[in-house]
Amino acid sequence: MTRICLIGFGEVGQILAEDLAAGGAAELSAYDLLFADPESPPSRALPRHAIRDCGAAADAVAGAALVISAVTAAQDVEAARSVAGAIVEGGFFLDLNSASPGMKQASAAIIERAGGRYVEAAVMAPFPPKRLGSPMLLGGPHAQAFADLAQPLGFSGLEVFSDQVGQASATKMCRSVMIKGIEALLTESMLAARHYGVEATVLASLSDLLPLPDWEATARYMISRSLEHGVRRAEEMREAARTVEEAGVAPTMSAAIAQRQDWAADYRGALAETDLGAMLDHIIRKTA
């Protein structure tokens, strides 16, 4: 697989471009909706990469043995549609997006009807710092065939998880309910506790239930993740809510977590504070 196409050229797409080029990919092409704007971050990043930029997804995918979709979750199905008319017979389509099982299955149906081989991938850790070697659960009937060919390119964290599309993404989405939920709970709890001057006592009491070496450092880290990546996390949580709903469960908590993550993104300036109390005070001042 020396000819590879990237659909989506944000942070993940750019990391993929660097690592795949370093791994010996002979030809890389890319398409991003934001290429239409020469001042957009994806457009400005292009000169830093040895990659052919294209004005349409069909142009980018033509002749590629591997198409990697790294777009926003809301664009998951549309990304599959955009390449369906041009994907080569038997070409792999690797779907990295944080989308619900239902969305992944819809994308898989589009690619399979077009003659491509759809592979679901659930990225189970932040893409940096392991980058191309990040742990990924693979799903679908072509998962093993893809893993065999992709590992020499640098995909060292692959695990063939299921021959069905949907189970890998379900694993990630259900995990996100817990991880992003803890971030949202800590944000809400600590802001209220700071108002009353009891945050240290609340954090100390948490060790009785969940013994951690430093709850204050944990709280600051988890709250900072929401502040820095709240928009992206909120989008993922909306997909998590969809996942829960697809299972027949009312997504009461998942929907609320998405709202809190979205809210946190407005207070990114608090990241400049190194101390938990100062970070909370920064947010409280801005909300006043």
Q: Where are the domains of the chain?
A: 3-165, 171-287
Which one of 3.40.190.100, 3.40.50.720, 2.60.120.10, 3.40.50.12370 gives the CATH number of domain 3-165? 3.40.50.720
Residue type, 238: R
Q: What residues contact 238, with CB distance under 8 A and at least 6 apart? A: 73, 255, 258
Query: In this structure, how many other beta carbons lie within 10 angstroms of the beta carbon of residue 183?
Result: 25
Structure confidence at residue 25 (pLDDT)? 76
Write down the residue that tokens 């809301």 correspond to.
74
For residue 87, give the DSSP letter: P
Q: Can you name the residues that pair with 31 across neighbouring β-strands?
A: 7
Q: What residues contact 137, with CB distance under 8 A and at least 6 apart? A: 121, 122, 124, 159, 161, 162, 168, 171, 172
Structure confidence at residue 85 (pLDDT)? 94
63 φψ region: left (φ > 0), alpha (ψ -120 to 50), beta (else):
left
Using CA atoms, how far residue 247 sits from 69, 170, 241, 250, 256, in Å, is: 25, 10, 10, 9, 18
CA distance 213 to 203: 11
Q: Which residues of the chain have pLDDT under 50?
A: none
Using CA atoms, how far residue 13 sits from 67, 97, 103, 178, 267, in Å, is: 11, 11, 20, 27, 26
- Range 171-287 classified under CATH 1.20.120.160: no
- DSSP string spanning 160-215? EEESSTTHHHHHHHHHHHHHHHHHHHHHHHHHHHHHHT-HHHHHHHHTTTS--S-H
Structure confidence at residue 180 (pLDDT)? 96
Structure confidence at residue 149 (pLDDT)? 94
Taking only the tens place, the pLDDT of each residue in 2-37 is 899 999 999 999 999 999 998 877 799 999 999 999
Record the tokens describing residue 29, joined without a space. Answer: 């092409």
CB 150 within 8 A of CB 19: no
CA dihedral 101, 150, 235, 84 (to 10 degrees): -70
Record the tokens describing residue 205, joined without a space. Answer: 């009491």
**H-run or E-run covering 94:** strand 92-95
Taking only the tens place, the pLDDT of each residue in 103-146 is 999 999 999 999 999 999 999 998 988 999 999 999 999 999 99
Residue type, 106: A
Give the residue from 241, 222, 273, 262 showing the smallest Cα distance to 102.
241
Structure confidence at residue 208 (pLDDT)? 87
